[in-house]
Amino acid sequence: MSLTHNSYKVAWICALPLEAAAARVMLDKTHSPLPKPSTDSNAYELGELNGHYIVIACLPAGVYGTVSAAAVVSRMHSTFPSLQYGLMVGIGGGVPGENNDIRLGDIVVSKPVGKYSGVIQYDYGKAVQGGQFEPTGTLNKPPQALLTHISQLQAKIMTGDQEDVSKIVWKVLERNPEMKDRFAPPEQHMDFLFHSSYHHADKEDTCGKCDKDKLVKRQPRATRTPYIHYGLIASGDQVMKDSEIRDRLAQQHGILCFEMEAAGLMDELPTLAIRGICDYCDSHKQKQWQGYAALTAAAYTKLLLLGIPNNRSDIDLVTSSKIQHWIVSLARNLKFVGRQEEIVKLEELIMAQDRPRRIAITGLGGVGKTQVALELAYRIRDRDKECSVFWIPCTSRAMIEQMFLHIAQKLGLHNLNMAEVKEQVKIYLSSERAGKWLLIFDNADDAEMWFAPSHTAPPLEDFLPESEQGCILFTTRNRKLAMKLAPFEVFPIPDVDKETALKILEKTLAREDLLRDTTTTTTLLEQLAFLPLAIVQASAYIIENGIKLSTYLVLLQEQEQDAVELLSEDFKDPGRYKDIQNPVITTWLISLEQIQHQDQLAADYLFFMACINPRNIPEILLPQPTSRKQKIEALGLLNAYSFIYSQGTGLGMHRLVHIATRNWLRKNSSFSHWIQRVAEHMQNVFPDNHYTNRGLWREYLPHALAIVHENEFVVQGDNYLGLTEKIAGCLASDGRYQEAEILYKKLTRINQDKAGSEHSSTLRSMANLASTYWNQGRWNEAEKLEVQVMETSKTVLGTEHPDTLTSIANLASTYRNQGRWNEAEKLDVQVMEIRKTVLGTEHPSTLTSIANLASTYRNQGRWNEAEKLFVQVMETRKTVLGAEHPSTLTSMANLASTYWNQGRWNEAEKLFVQAIETRKTVLGTEHPDTLTSMANLASTYWNQGRWNEAEKLEVQVMETRKTVLGAEHPDTLTSMANLASTYRNQGRWNEAEKLFVQVMETRKTVLGAEHPNTLTSMANLASTYWNQGRWNEAEKLDVQVMETRKTVLGAEHPDTLISMANLAFTWKFQGKLQDALSLMDKCCHLHSKVLGPSHQYSRSFSCTLSDWMDEYNALPKQTTLTRKECPQALREVSAGPPAAVVTAQLVREEHINLSYTQRRSAAKLLLGNHPLIIAARTPSPAPEDQDLQDVD
């Protein structure tokens, strides 16, 4: 009789070669091997026993556990489709107890107990109250008829009517004497059972050095016949070596034996587990019992099969109905989690009466499409035993041809030539006789394979069957292809959520101790983009190398190349194809090559995006092709492969795809080429930092920054310098001074190396770097650079050159910020006089110089001289430039600020209103200058006590700046501080405090803890505490501000002196009168020294000191001045007369070639450095080319 694959009904599965050897010697006869498909990597031994045709299979060497067992049986069942049941036969660990006298060499047979089927998966479940572990889910029971025969055999053995196991063992050893050394039973005294609490003494292979006093006392058995025990067998993926855990689980569930494979078989094929006991699941080594235990288990299996007739038609060992055909080469993934919504929806769709003929599931490579389809296949099989399931991997044309041939053979279509196979399978499945079927094409990604005929064969679509009883399921990465294959039923598989990703990691790692650090676990999953394949790959690497999650995370984050190597690491995965590499990067590179073959523009866009930031990519940033249609189709193809996705108004690129694409470019020596292409494009489209471009540059900045940090771009020279200078300017305009500083330093260094220290590009970079220091309040560093630029310019260009004069004016502005007003005045006069001579009195640069000098006079409190010069500048600009020119309006605002500082509020208000209205018309309502004018007008209302009007304007300015500039921009923070000051003056302390704290904390982050504006914020908050009578809190901040200003600005800087006065007031209110007097005395002395005895501050502080001394001498020593006695003009937040106000005016002239916005941002520190004026809420005059700066 000719035997085929369908002839074999019984599967005998072993984990170890010695188990397979014991199985083989039990056969009555062995058979010749049969051919098997290339997808089946199993090795089979065929034979028969008592007329039963048996297939023996052994797990791959060194690959044990439930997953490996499931994979072996799945392939076995696909190759031998008529298998009715399985026998998992081999060795296991016994669980001895009071009620179970289990000895080494005994046999445990799985048998249903309570709610369990006879096998429980002890490492798959949940922790419950009391520290116990509850297995979840249920495994299939062995066939009922098989259980009946077990009961019959059990009864016959009890009555002596059945040959016992030991006789079969001895017969085998007599026939095969070469097996005795390995399989003969050891002596009983070698059966060591130690107490659970006693563990193995050392690393020896035997227990020769273990303490025999720790042995459990047991009576020797009278006979060597093994006992046979029936009950629960526990199965898991790790060897049980802990006797205490063994006892706890055994007590909880009634377990008799532990092993590693049975749970993987129960749902693949109805299976009975038979285990010979070779150890006690503890740390003690009993390897000498393994051969004998394997032989006793095999002997019991033979007894069982001898009692089962092979020709009884009334015994159905499986179920009342069975699957017609099951050709699925992949084992069920026992660790599959998530995707329930998608699978249930697909399952119901396939099982419906009006099922669609075709369905496609699509998603990014590695997202889990194959696993969804695989779980779906098994559920369909379990749910409908009459439905055939066929699985075809579309990894190559050859693989498809081979699987069609395999299916044809299973369908009984013989004697076909290769050209006929696909057509005949199509005809068969399209006919009624095929019954119900599900045909799955996995990895259907090659569009040409499906729709373009080759020179040797028609397209595959021509061979797709059509039947009301059948359904075809495709998995593909290409959504466009999915739409063609299944136009009406395309199911996208999205990324998994965080919770599901964590479950995948838990399942694949199977070690709870590695997951205790939840922060590291979450970060790792985020870095892996919650991608299932990447998570499985990471788990494999972590387990294989015995490392922690944190170590893997460091490797993933350190260098891009490290991440590439990790994601390129191949790993074993029983749930994936043997001939296909598993790494996630390999998966995507296949898709990338398909994209490149289909649409070069799509590939070019992918390469372009690989060179920039993968998030929030503006579509307008991409190079424009000749046809809009081309662009739509190219981006559509990338989206169809899930490589990109819509993100707000732009595009996003999957993080790991970004890394993979960069790696592909490097491997193909194309990365430098693409960096250069993208950089050239970016240089052309990146805007300058004019305020109207703010929205555009903010969209482009993350991508431009990504380019300039690439080494391949830095070496390009001029392109790098040009783009980097643009980027730095925009960063400075956004108040991101620290980032701008880094780039300006790079530019300075490169220009020095390339062109020399005297070249104009080097001087420009140095001047811009100085401006960045200036904006950060780092006056000394700014001064040092500006002196260097000035001296070099004098030498190279001459004293009268415009760039030299600009550098002198810049240095003058720094002196003003340092309170060095006499030095600033000297430089301002020098610049003004030279410009008058060289350029003429009406030249715009000359007028700027005059305005700068006026600002210095204003800083010195020389109001009349300042007013005279500001009027001159304004009138001249009206004549030369026109009444509505921005520079003329600046002059108007400067004059208004001078009136304002003199307390001439009505005149100031009139000019401010005029400036606002004109600027609204000429520049627009959201222009920075218009907003500054509105803030200045609000300050005027503020000083007039018109709080509601001031508040209304300040809210408007603040909200507009938040929208236009951003919530953390220095100008926005100034607006918030102004509004807080208004709340404070209205007695709305809580609202004021909340805003001041917010401004202070944000400035600490954005500008730094020692920035002058940050210190001003702290002083403002102290003032709020002061007004609330919270003296201790106010004192703490006052001291901190004063000490920091001494360090940063110097002990004699005007701002530092104001801090001293503030602290003196706080001490006075706390009753520390002598301390207050001493500090105020020192403050008066330094003011007179620094500013002169006739300066308003000097006179005001002297008067205050005199009043305090009179009060101190007149009052008892214990008396404290009341609040109303405190001269409020000297407090940072209280209102005071104009005479008490001194301004810290910054007249910041533009650096060489600095843009308009850079010049504006450079002046934003204005006035905030002098808290006293904040107290009076008297904004100081603005610098030239600036309006009156709104002050916090």
pLDDT category of residue 585 using cuts at 50, 70 and 90: low
Question: Which pLDDT score, from 0 to 100, does residue 1159 have?
Answer: 26
Separation of alpha carbons 150 and 306, rounded Å = 11
Residues 232-244 have a mean pLDDT of 85
pLDDT category of residue 991 using cuts at 50, 70 and 90: very high
Q: Which residues contact 1081 (CB under 8 A, 6 or more apart)?
A: 1105
Instruction: Note the residue count of the chain.
Output: 1192
Separation of alpha carbons 1015 and 999, rounded Å = 11
Residues 142-153 have a mean pLDDT of 86
Write down the residue that tokens 């310098």 correspond to.
Answer: 721
pLDDT tens-digit profile of 500-531?
Answer: 888 888 888 867 767 778 888 888 888 887 88
pLDDT category of residue 1149 using cuts at 50, 70 and 90: very low
pLDDT tens-digit profile of 1022-1048?
Answer: 999 988 889 999 999 999 999 999 998
pLDDT tens-digit profile of 406-422?
Answer: 999 888 887 777 778 89
Separation of alpha carbons 76 and 539, rounded Å = 28
Torsion angle, alpha carbons of 513, 519, 525, 526, to 10: -170
CA 77 to centroid of chain Cα atoms:
42
CATH, domain range 326-492? 3.40.50.300
pTM of the model: 0.60
Q: Above 70 in pLDDT, residue 1164?
A: no
Separation of alpha carbons 506 and 539, rounded Å = 9
Q: Above 90 in pLDDT, residue 1111?
A: no
- Report the number of secondary-structure helices (H) and strands (E) in the chain: 47, 20
DSSP-based three-state secondary structure for 958: helix
More confident site: 267 or 731: 731
DSSP-based three-state secondary structure for 686: coil
pLDDT category of residue 1176 using cuts at 50, 70 and 90: very low
Question: Which pLDDT score, from 0 to 100, does residue 1 have?
Answer: 54
What are the backbone angles phi and psi of residue 162, rounded to the nearest 5°? -130, 140
Write down the residue that tokens 């929208």 correspond to.
Answer: 963
More confident site: 1138 or 642: 642
pLDDT category of residue 1191 using cuts at 50, 70 and 90: very low
**Which of 882-920 are b and which e, b meaning 16 or more Cβ less than 10 Å from the residue's Cβ?**
eeebbbbbbbbbbbbbbbbbbbbbebbbebbebbbebbe
Task: Delimit the domains of the chain by residue range.
Answer: 5-200+210-306, 326-492, 498-567, 583-668, 669-775
Reference 310, options 76, 29, 8; nearest CA is 8
CATH, domain range 583-668? 1.10.10
pLDDT category of residue 582 using cuts at 50, 70 and 90: very low
Residues 804-822 have a mean pLDDT of 91
Question: Which pLDDT score, from 0 to 100, does residue 600 have?
Answer: 93
Residues 153-160 have a mean pLDDT of 85
Contact 694, 964 (CB under 8 A): yes
Domain range 669-775, CATH class: mainly alpha
Residues 578-598 have a mean pLDDT of 69
Separation of alpha carbons 1181 and 855, rounded Å = 7
Largest CA distance in the chain: 131
Question: Which pLDDT score, from 0 to 100, does residue 201 have?
Answer: 64
Question: Which pLDDT score, from 0 to 100, does residue 1000 have?
Answer: 95
pLDDT category of residue 1170 using cuts at 50, 70 and 90: very low
Question: Does the fold of domain 326-492 match that of domain 5-200+210-306?
Answer: yes
Residues 821-849 have a mean pLDDT of 94
Reference 234, options 249, 219, 221, 214; nearest CA is 249
pLDDT tens-digit profile of 772-803?
Answer: 999 888 888 999 999 999 999 999 999 999 99
Question: Which pLDDT score, from 0 to 100, does residue 320 have?
Answer: 37
Reference 1144, options 1111, 1098, 1191; nearest CA is 1191
When mean pLDDT is compared across 213-217, 401-405, 563-567, 896-900, the lowest value belongs to 563-567
When mean pLDDT is compared across 198-212, 569-583, 951-965, the lowest value belongs to 569-583
Residues 745-771 have a mean pLDDT of 93
How many CA atoms lie within 13 Å of 237's alpha carbon, on the beta-carbon side? 15
**What is the 8-class DSSP label of residue 668?**
T
pLDDT tens-digit profile of 888-933?
Answer: 999 999 999 889 888 888 999 999 999 999 999 988 898 888 999 9
Separation of alpha carbons 19 and 45, rounded Å = 13
Pairing of strands 228-235, 52-58: unpaired
Given the candidates 3.40.50.1580, 2.70.40.10, 3.40.50.150, 3.40.50.2300, the CATH classification of the domain at 5-200+210-306 is: 3.40.50.1580
Question: Which pLDDT score, from 0 to 100, does residue 438 have?
Answer: 96
Pairing of strands 388-393, 326-327: parallel
Share of the chain above pLDDT 90, in %: 44
Question: Which pLDDT score, from 0 to 100, does residue 626 have?
Answer: 83
Q: Above 50 in pLDDT, residue 761?
A: yes
Question: Which pLDDT score, from 0 to 100, does residue 519 have?
Answer: 87
pLDDT tens-digit profile of 653-706?
Answer: 887 888 888 888 988 899 989 999 999 999 999 999 888 888 899 999 999 999
Write down the residue that tokens 């994936």 correspond to.
Answer: 576
Separation of alpha carbons 551 and 549, rounded Å = 5
More confident site: 580 or 997: 997
Helical (H) or strand (E) element with 952: helix 947-964
pLDDT category of residue 227 using cuts at 50, 70 and 90: very high
The rounded mean pLDDT for the chain is 83
Contact 1090, 1055 (CB under 8 A): no
Q: Above 60 in pLDDT, residue 74?
A: yes
Separation of alpha carbons 706 and 452, rounded Å = 41
Question: Which pLDDT score, from 0 to 100, does residue 204 have?
Answer: 67
Question: Which pLDDT score, from 0 to 100, does residue 134 have?
Answer: 62
pLDDT category of residue 310 using cuts at 50, 70 and 90: confident
Most confident by average pLDDT, 1-5, 655-659, 932-936, 1154-1158: 932-936
